[in-house]
């Protein structure tokens, strides 16, 4: 029995499937916890396998290797007084489980299984795991510790059961991805649980990018009475140590550091940069290439890339055709100079014109239309992919969510690439973040301070420049209107009738709904990008490509 505890939370960046790499991270954290004099060290949800392993969990050898890795780390506790709470997968006669193992003195002393398995949004754990029973607390250093796992705390009964069975402190490992306002949602949830059960909770979240998900860390501790007692870093790894004291009214934190959360203005930028950096690095690339058109989207992606990798790892290419304006050429060069990146100009006039000449017998006397425009975009995609292949750079795509929603992008053209940092960002948000970045240097940034996106790029009307004097609004409603409709139809899943009742023109709403539906096949073939809203295309929104349903205006 002890009246004092020092608890360490390892807010780290594991890689899915990298059992040896994640085990090395865990061993390093164990050494750090021992040096800090910690009694308990906890890792984030499914730390050893990475969160989330998806169909790796159907591979028996992966399961066996993961269990063996957990046993290896357990043996490492024989040379320390630290008790390790290690979230990983575990198998028993009831199936495979999302679990935590508790290890001390060189062996696994307890296993606890996740009770509530999420089966919505981006995680479908019921596809892989069997639910555990209502868990009992674990006695560590003579203290009764409850270990609800992530989704468990979203269900009042789990924490209530632990408290009724004598838990004095709740330690909660999580794999909670970022989207707007998520940090405040978590705080409100933990606030409710600590008030209901009258015991403190330490909430640990992982950090890092994993395909389309970004984990923002921001781990924290809270006592009953809405007392925030420590706060970890946002979008960065952290090793958080807090001291706890048992008194007449239970356990309270006697020492904890509060780091200010990333602001709601900065967080989307940080999420995109972290997702980009980890996707590139975790897939074995060290540098990137992109087409710099002189427009807002490619300028923002270039700035994000420089923030993620540094200017020497970013290669920008202008690919002008006869419709590319002198202003765009000037703006692209200025942007490249402000960012300090390598900048090349590769004209596409000759190959495009030659393609049109060769196609003339097939096209006949049909008037010019999207087919000719798309040849320009696809030629740019061919050139950029050639540079990517030859130089070993990952090609970044630069289309935003507004364009992807309505199919205002050329498949096998400007949609070419390995990753798209703007995939879940509406056009109005792209403009807002461009202005924000010109006035701020984000935390963990490798990019320069000051203006990095020329003001003319922000001010001018957006255009694909695939025909003379083309503007996006020739084909689309103004972006504030379009984005409001996309938000209503996609992110909020509202009916057409409800949206029309808000004052939108019914024909426009029906048209945008149609464009969203028929562009699904393009989105299925688009590169991944970071999820920063509650409803992102791809991982967060699974609509059929072949789909006969259309909402209509009632009355």
Report the alpha-carbon distance of residue 29 to residue 31 in Å, rounded: 5
What is the C-alpha radius of gyration for the chain, rounded to an integer number of angstroms? 26
Which among 182, 172, 253, 240 has a CA at the least distance from the CA of 215?
182
Question: Residues with Cβ < 8 Å from 129, sequence gap 6 or more?
Answer: 57, 95, 96, 97, 98, 114, 117
- Which DSSP state fits 364? T
The one-digit pLDDT tens for each residue of the chain (555 residues) are 789 999 999 999 999 999 999 999 999 999 999 999 999 999 999 999 999 999 999 999 999 999 999 999 999 999 899 999 999 999 999 999 999 999 999 999 999 999 999 987 788 899 999 999 999 999 999 999 999 999 999 999 999 999 999 999 999 999 999 998 888 999 999 999 999 999 999 999 999 999 999 999 999 999 999 999 999 999 999 999 999 999 988 999 999 999 999 999 999 999 999 999 999 999 999 999 999 999 999 999 999 999 999 999 999 999 999 999 999 999 999 999 999 999 999 999 999 999 999 999 999 999 999 999 999 999 999 999 999 999 999 999 999 999 999 999 999 999 999 999 999 999 999 999 999 999 999 988 999 999 999 999 999 987 776 777 777 777 789 999 999 999 999 999 999 999 999 999 999 999 999 999 999 999 999 999 999 998 899 887 888 899 888 888 765
C-alpha–C-alpha distance, residues 193 and 98, integer Å:
22
SS3 of 255-302: the string is ECCECCCCCCCCHHHHHHHHHHHHHHHHCCCCCEEEECCCCHHHHHHH
- Bind-site residues for L-glutamine: 176, 182
Instruction: Kindly tell me the sign of the dihedral angle through the C-alpha atoms of 66, 72, 78, 81.
Output: negative
> With a threshold of 0.85, does the pTM exceed it?
yes
The reply to whether omega before 52 is within 30° of 0 (cis) is: yes
Cβ-contact 519, 525 below 8 angstroms: no
Q: 327 and 454 in contact (C-beta within 8 Å)?
A: no
**Which residues belong to the annotated binding site for ATP?**
291-298, 398
Count other Cβ atoms within 10 Å, centred on residue 508. 15
- Domains contained in the chain, CATH given: 4-255 (3.60.110.10), 267-468 (3.40.50.620)
Which residues are known catalytic residues? 45, 114, 150
Burial of 103 per CB tally in 10 Å (0-12, 13-18, 19+): buried
Annotated binding site: 176, 182, 291-298, 374, 398, 403, 522
Residue matched to tokens 């990146």: 341
The whole-angstrom separation of Cα 113 and Cα 125 is: 13
In this structure, the chain runs to a length of 555
Contact indicator for 281, 255 with CB cutoff of 8 Å: no
SS3 20: helix
165 Cβ neighbours under 8 A, 6+ residues apart? 136, 137, 144, 146
The 3-state DSSP class for residue 239 equals strand
Distance, in Å, from the CA atom of 31 to the CA atom of 386, rounded to the nearest integer, reads: 46
Kindly tell me the sign of the dihedral angle through the C-alpha atoms of 74, 77, 81, 85: negative
How many CB atoms neighbour CB 216 within 10 A? 27
Q: Are 93 and 132 in contact (CB under 8 A)?
A: no
Q: What is the DSSP letter of 249?
A: T
CA–CA dist 405, 426 (Å, integer): 9
- Give the 3-state secondary structure of residue 85: strand
Task: Give the integer Cα–Cα distance in Å for 42 and 241.
Answer: 11
What tokens were used for 497? 């009738």
C-alpha span between 24 and 32 (Å, rounded)? 12
What is the spatial distance between Cα 491 and Cα 282, in angstroms, rounded to a whole number?
A: 29
Where does residue 226 fall: left (phi above 0), alpha (psi -120 to 50 degrees), or beta otherwise?
A: left
Burial class (CB in 10 A: 0-12, 13-18, 19+), 112: buried
Q: Cα separation of 412 and 166, whole Å?
A: 60
Q: Residue 466 and residue 394: Cα distance in Å, rounded?
A: 25
């Amino acid at each position: 029995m002890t009246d004092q505890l020092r608890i360490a939370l390892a807010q780290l960046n594991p890689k899915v499937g990298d059992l040896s790499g994640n085990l090395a991270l865990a061993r390093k954290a164990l050494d750090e916890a021992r040096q800090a004099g910690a009694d308990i060290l906890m890792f984030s949800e499914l730390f050893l396998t990475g969160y989330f392993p998806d169909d790796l969990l159907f591979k028996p050898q992966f399961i066996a290797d993961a269990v063996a890795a957990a046993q290896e780390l357990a043996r490492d506790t024989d040379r320390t007084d630290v008790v390790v709470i290690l979230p990983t997968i575990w198998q028993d006669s009831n199936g495979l489980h999302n679990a935590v193992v508790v290890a001390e003195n060189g062996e696994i002393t307890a296993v606890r299984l996740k009770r509530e398995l999420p089966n919505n949004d981006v995680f479908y754990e019921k596809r892989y795991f069997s639910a555990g029973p209502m868990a009992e607390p674990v006695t560590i250093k003579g203290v009764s510790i409850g270990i609800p796992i992530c989704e468990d705390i979203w269900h009042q009964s789990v924490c209530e059961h632990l408290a009724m069975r004598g838990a004095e402190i709740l330690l909660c490992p999580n794999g909670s991805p970022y989207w707007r306002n998520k940090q405040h949602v978590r705080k409100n949830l933990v606030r409710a649980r600590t008030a209901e059960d009258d015991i403190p909770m330490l909430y640990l979240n992982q950090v890092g990018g994993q395909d389309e998900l970004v984990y923002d860390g921001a781990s924290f501790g809270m006592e009953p009475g809405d007392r925030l007692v420590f706060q970890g870093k946002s979008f960065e790894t952290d090793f958080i140590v807090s001291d706890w004291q048992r008194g007449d009214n239970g356990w309270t934190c006697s020492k904890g550091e509060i780091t200010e959360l990333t602001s709601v203005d900065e967080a989307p930028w940080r999420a995109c940069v972290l997702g980009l950096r980890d996707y590139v690095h975790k897939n074995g690339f060290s540098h990137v290439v992109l087409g710099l058109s002189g427009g807002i989207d490619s300028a923002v992606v270039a700035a994000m890339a420089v923030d993620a990798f540094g200017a020497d790892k970013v290669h920008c290419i202008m690919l002008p055709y006869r419709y590319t304006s002198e202003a765009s050429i000037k703006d692209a060069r200025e942007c490249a100079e402000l960012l300090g990146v390598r900048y090349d100009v590769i004209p596409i006039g000759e190959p495009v014109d030659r393609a049109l000449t060769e196609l003339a017998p097939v096209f006949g006397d049909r008037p010019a239309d999207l087919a000719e425009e798309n040849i320009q975009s696809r030629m740019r995609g061919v050139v950029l992919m050639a540079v990517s292949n030859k130089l070993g750079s990952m090609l970044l795509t630069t289309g935003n969510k507004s364009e992807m929603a309505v199919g205002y992008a050329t498949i096998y053209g400007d949609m070419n690439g390995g990753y798209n940092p703007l995939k879940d960002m509406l056009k109005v948000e792209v403009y807002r973040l461009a202005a924000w970045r010109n006035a701020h240097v984000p935390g963990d940034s490798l990019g320069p301070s000051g203006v990095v996106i020329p003001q003319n790029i922000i001010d001018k009307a957006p255009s694909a420049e695939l025909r003379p004097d083309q503007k996006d609004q020739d084909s689309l409603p103004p972006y504030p209107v379009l984005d409001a409709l996309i938000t209503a139809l996609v992110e909020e899943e509202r009916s057409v009738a409800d949206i029309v009742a808000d004052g939108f023109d019914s024909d426009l709403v029906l048209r945008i709904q149609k464009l969203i539906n028929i562009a699904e096949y393009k989105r299925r073939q688009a590169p991944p990008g970071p999820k920063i809203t509650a409803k992102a295309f791809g991982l967060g929104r699974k609509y059929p490509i072949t789909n006969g349903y259309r909402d209509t205006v009632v009355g």
